[in-house]
Amino acid sequence: MRAAIAVVAGLLLAALLAGIGWRLTTRPYEPPARPAPGDTQRPDRTPEAPDLPVPLIPEERERAEYERARRPFMASLSESASSVGCTVGVGEDLSELTVTGSHVGAEAVDAVRDAAFRLGVERQGFRLIRFYERMPDGSGLPPRLVAEVTLRDGRWTTFMR
C-alpha cells in the first residue's frame, strides 16, 4: 500500500512539473514594459534638455521681425521676378533688395523694378535694389552687378552698368 501511495504521489508530482513546464514554454513573449512618460531615468543617463528657442541678439531679432512683416511682399515680388527668370532676396543690409538671374537685361530690370514699385518697396523699408547676373556654372566667379535702383531725396534713380 505504501508503494501504491508513493507511485500515485510520484505521478502527481510529475504531472504538476509537466504542467508548469508547459505553461512556461508556451506563453507568448512579452517585451519589458517601458517607463511611463515623466518617470525618472536610469541614474547612468543624463536627462534630456527641453526644446527651448535660442535667444536672439537684437540684430537677429530685428531681421526676424522684418522678414515676418515682409513675407507677403517678398512672395508677390518673387512671383513677378520668376516670370523673367530671377530670384529675390534681402542683402546684408536690411534696406537692400537683391535680384539675381542668369540673364539680367534691361527688360528684366524694368519688370522687377516696376513690380517692386507697384507692391510698395519703399513702405517695406527698402532703399536700394541691386540686380546681379549669375556667372556660368563652373566659372567660380561671383555674380556680376548689372544695375542699381536707389532711393535718394524721395526719388528713385536707376543706374545700369
Could you tell me the pLDDT band of residue 27, with boundaries at 50, 70 and 90?
low
The pLDDT of residue 106 is 92
Structural contact between residues 128 and 156, judged by C-beta atoms closer than 8 angstroms = no
Set of cell numbers at residue 8: 500515485
pLDDT (mean) for 8-26: 82
Structural contact between residues 156 and 127, judged by C-beta atoms closer than 8 angstroms = no
SS3 per-residue string spanning the chain? CHHHHHHHHHHHHHHHHHHHHHHHHHCCCCCCCCCCCCCCCCCCCCCCCCCCCCCCCHHHHHHHHHHHHHHHHHHHHHHHHHCCCEEEEECCCCCEEEEEECCCCHHHHHHHHHHHHHHCCCCCCCCEEEEEECCCCCCCCCCEEEEEEEEECCEEEEEEC
Distance CA 47, CA 37 (A): 13
pLDDT tens string 67-82: 999 999 999 999 999 9
Could you tell me the pLDDT band of residue 120, with boundaries at 50, 70 and 90?
very high
The pLDDT of residue 59 is 87
Distance CA 67, CA 90 (A): 9
Looking at the chain, the whole-number percentage of residues with pLDDT higher than 70 is 89
Looking at residue 144, its amino acid is R
Set of cell numbers at residue 28: 507568448
| Reported CATH class of domain 58-160 | alpha beta
| Domain boundaries along the sequence of the chain | 58-160
Full-model pTM = 0.63
Could you tell me the pLDDT band of residue 2, with boundaries at 50, 70 and 90?
confident
